[in-house]
Amino acid sequence: MFYSTFSVCQVVPYHEKYIEQYLDHFNFASFGNKTFKQRYLFQDKWWDKEHDGPIFFYTGNEGDINGFWEASGFVMDIAPQFGALVLFAEHRFYGKSLPAGGDSFKAPYIGLLTIEQALADFAVLLTRLKTQLNAKGSPVIAFGGSYGGMLTAFMRFKYPNIIDGGIAASAPLFMWVPDFDRSFFFKTVTQDVRDVSPVCESKIRAAFQKMNDLASEGTRGLEEISRLFNLCKPVTNLPSYKHLQGWIRNSFANMAMFNYPYAVPLFNLPANPLNVVCKLVLMAPSVIAGLASAAGLYYNGTHGTLPCFDIYKEYVQCADPTGCGLGPNAKAYDYQACTEVRLPDGTNNVTDMFPVLPWTQDMRREYCEKTWGISQRLDWTTIQFWGLKLKSASNLVFSNGDLDPWHGGGVNKSISNTVVAVLIKGGAHHLDLRHHNPADPPGVIQAREIEKTNIQKWILSAKTSRSQV
């Protein structure tokens, strides 16, 4: 589950600081009083402290916190209007917030990578800073996208004494329910391509079938596939061929998530990348050549123009079939995908256009036991974080874009007058959290207005209730 870490305009400057956090908030005997340094970013130039201006708090997720700062310009766009202090907290085990440095991913430390510990970090950070800044009267509005959006909702569930309301963007928290249909992700990626061009989808399906035909020929066929995809090292057997298929699928998953109406400079992706993909597919001399050009658009963008493609460096298989990314952050997320974070199924070539690359619960369990030596507890997240039963929640806006592959696992219908769902027509992954852009579709402009209206209401309610205490 990648979260975008790029921006389309100049990044708002920030201050970087650290806070000492307990390694374990809940077991007083396990690590004693040992602590680690959690990183956070803030900008106070808009803060109306004299009148208890609010704190806009981003619940950091699976990556370096500065990346989320860059990708969440909406928070900075509206901070002057509300006189807000902006605060972004880094999630433990990501970026520079490693509880045990290079040993963080070893036992016993890795067991401290839980949602509960991360939420407690956030709660402690906010409580301490409000005391240090003499800001006890400042309401706190949480923001988060993707996994971070789920954390925003969970913060409101677990710490309503600290969080007064939250904007949970692209937060697929319903997929954590054990019997939820997890075919939605790649089904939506396929629908996104079909909406661009049904012929494009059919050619992609044909390309995968042609690849299978070539692979069935043995060495000569695999060599031809390797040549057509310009691979640095040829695929030589079934496991390497399957990895190539996953590498291709991963490119489409990311381009569907980042299918924004404007260019993304850092990834060197064009505006509406799936439109560009389909042009490449339709113009290619063969269906496989078209598929190779489509995947190349993504990897050349994310890694720079490459002389050839190293599918093992550019894509690492993990417990999340939509991809965990690369580097230490990917390792941390892989662990979370084996514990509390429930994720989509693989692909079946029936409800989606991709090869049959299943990812069943049994396969996931076997992988997690082999990789991390842990057994899953499938019902724990639903017990701990409410599952489908959100009627007792309040002061949340759940936003989802209809182009976003994750929206099928999200809250797409309002639960009550205070738990509001907003579906953004023409919106990809948490588009509403990004800086405003002249190319923004009307749907995201409307969504941001709804979000601002609710934020204003939550701030007023919080200040009124506190004045009456």
Q: Which long-range contacts (CB under 8 A, 24 or more apart) does 327-334 make?
A: 328/98, 328/105, 329/62, 329/63, 329/64, 329/94, 329/95, 331/105, 332/62, 332/93, 332/94, 332/105, 332/113, 333/1, 333/62, 334/371, 334/372
| 3-class secondary-structure state, position 340 | coil
Whether 7 sits among the annotated catalytic residues: the reply is no
Quickly count: other Cβ atoms within 10 Å of residue 30's Cβ: 12
Catalytic residue among 72, 146, 170, 197: 146
Catalytic residue among 4, 121, 197, 429: 429
Are 205 and 353 within 8 A, CB to CB? yes
Question: What are the start-end ranges of the H helices in 159-197?
Answer: 184-196
* Cα(105)–Cα(100) distance, integer angstroms: 8
Across 219-248, b (16+ Cβ under 10 Å) vs e yields eebbbbbbebbebeeebeeeebbbbbbbbb
Cis peptide before 13 (omega within 30 of 0): no
* Cα(406)–Cα(429) distance, integer angstroms: 8
Whether 146 sits among the annotated catalytic residues: the reply is yes
Kindly state the greatest CA–CA separation across the chain: 79
Are 424 and 260 within 8 A, CB to CB? no
Is residue 285 exposed (0-12), middle (13-18) or buried (19+ Cβ within 10 Å)? exposed
* Cα(250)–Cα(247) distance, integer angstroms: 5
Are 39 and 360 within 8 A, CB to CB? no
Residue 65's closest CA among 14, 109, 140, 128?
A: 14
Pairing of strands 55-59, 85-89: parallel
Q: Which long-range contacts (CB under 8 A, 24 or more apart) does 24-27 make?
A: 24/112, 24/117, 25/116, 25/117, 25/120, 25/121, 25/124, 26/116, 26/117, 26/120
Quickly count: other Cβ atoms within 10 Å of residue 268's Cβ: 16
DSSP 319: S
DSSP 271: S
Whether 392 sits among the annotated catalytic residues: the reply is no
Catalytic residue among 121, 164, 352, 404: 404
Quote the tokens at residue 2. Answer: 């990648």
* Cα(354)–Cα(16) distance, integer angstroms: 43
Q: What positions carry a catalytic annotation? A: 146, 404, 429
